[in-house]
Amino acid sequence: MLAVIDTNVLVSASINREGVPGQLVARIRTLELTPVVSAAILDEYADVLRRPRFNFPQNWVDDLLADMEALALHVRPAKIDTSNLPDPSDAPFIATAMAAGCPIVTGNARHFPADCGVEILSPAQCRSRLTG
């Protein structure tokens, strides 16, 4: 299964590796879930996960970022209109999902309007889809 993984899912996985977001990271590492990324998404992952306020272990962050880059499908999405987005910084996630024809997995669905052009899944919905 292909999916764009929102940064908040990786933050949640870093906080609680046993929770649903952590389980999704484990499924990425076992190649059951293929993340779809763009350069902008990888930059955001690194910026957010390395913020001092989170104080995540450096080796965890380095390994997670390396896996998200190495195990991902990389795309170069077209720019999209951001005027109807609650948070324009989410545009790269929508554009990447549109380019790959896959859903976005997020813990914050309200940032992605129903008419954004891609399917939005919660981490639990993604896990359910993976388990059939």
Query: Which uninterrupted H or E stretch holds 37?
Result: strand 34-37
pTM for the complete prediction? 0.96
pLDDT, position 25 = 98
Q: Where are the domains of the chain?
A: 2-131
Run of H or E including 31: none
- 96-111 per-position pLDDT tens digit: 999 999 999 999 998 8
CATH of 2-131, one of 1.10.3720.10, 1.10.260.40, 3.20.20.70, 3.40.50.1010: 3.40.50.1010
Single-letter amino acid, residue 86: P
Residue 66 in tokens: 């390396």
112, HSE (Cβ side, Cα atoms, 13 Å): 24
Phi, psi of 113 (to 5 degrees): -65, 155
Instruction: Give 62-77 pLDDT, tens digit per residue.
Output: 999 999 999 999 999 9
| Packed helices 20-29 and 123-131: angle between N→C axes, nearest 10 degrees | 50
